Amino acid sequence: MAAEASGIGTLARPDRRETQRRATREKLLSISVAEFQRNGFAHTDIATIAERAGVSRGTFYFHFPTKDDVLGELRIREEHTIVREVAPLLARSGSLEEVLRAVVAGVLVAESRLGTDLIREICAVQFRPSVVKSDTVADHPVAALVVDLFSRLPGSGGPQERADLAVVFLVGLFGLLSTQAGPSEERDRLLDSLVTFTLRGWDR
């Protein structure tokens, strides 16, 4: 019985190597973000990130095959944050306009925290041919939320048309943020128009 209890205890304890692996990944992500913010994405060298993290380049590549993969990890985390922030609106059946504007606001909050240049890179990486070829809606928490919202709300159009409109909204949002120089009255106007045009497409 004692041996069985000991075995259960061993299984219950977190794997030390897995804990270390996660800690190393978090450290690499944190240092990468700091370097991107300091030097810019294009001018940040993987060797510098690895050196600051106290690991080999091979260890970096084990966790992130490319710098784009760092952006991908950061994007997913930021999208999960936005989804959590928008969830209360969905719980109280917020209008489509409220939800769309909340999504836009969530991305802009991330921009104020991470910086315009880094958000532009995060948005731009989604248009890389390799990403476009392999990504699906399921790979994007915000996209999954918006597509699901469009599919459930009463309105015109079949399932494919609804999904297409949601995707067009998101492509427009990330496209604007990746091509504009940063916060400006013109960008605010374009973001507002994006929401307005999406709502018109829904109501037609």
The percentage of residues in the chain with a pLDDT greater than 90, rounded to a whole number, is 60
User: Is the pLDDT at 9 greater than 60, yes or no?
Assistant: no
| Residue 4 confidence class, pLDDT cut points 50, 70, 90 | very low
**What is the pLDDT at residue 27?**
97
**What is the pLDDT at residue 129?**
85
**What is the pLDDT at residue 131?**
77
Over the stretch 123-150, which tens digit does the pLDDT of each residue have? Answer: 998 888 877 777 777 788 998 888 888 8
**What is the pLDDT at residue 14?**
63
C-alpha 169, offset from chain centre: 16
The pLDDT mean for the chain works out to 87
Domains annotated on the chain, with CATH: 1-65 (1.10.10.60), 67-204 (1.10.357)
Contact 32, 70 (CB under 8 A): yes
HSE-up (13 A, CA, CB side) for residue 58: 0
C-alpha 3, offset from chain centre: 46
| Residue 1 confidence class, pLDDT cut points 50, 70, 90 | very low
115 torsion bin: left (phi>0), alpha (psi -120 to 50), beta (else)? left
Report pTM.
0.84
- d(C-alpha 37, C-alpha 126), whole Å: 19
Over the stretch 69-116, which tens digit does the pLDDT of each residue have? Answer: 999 999 999 999 999 999 888 888 778 899 999 999 999 999 999 999
**What is the pLDDT at residue 204?**
55
**Got the DSSP string for 72-140?**
HHHHHHHHHHHHHHHHHHHHTT--HHHHHHHHHHHHHHHHHHH-HHHHHHHHHHTTSHHHHHH--GGG-
- d(C-alpha 26, C-alpha 10), whole Å: 25
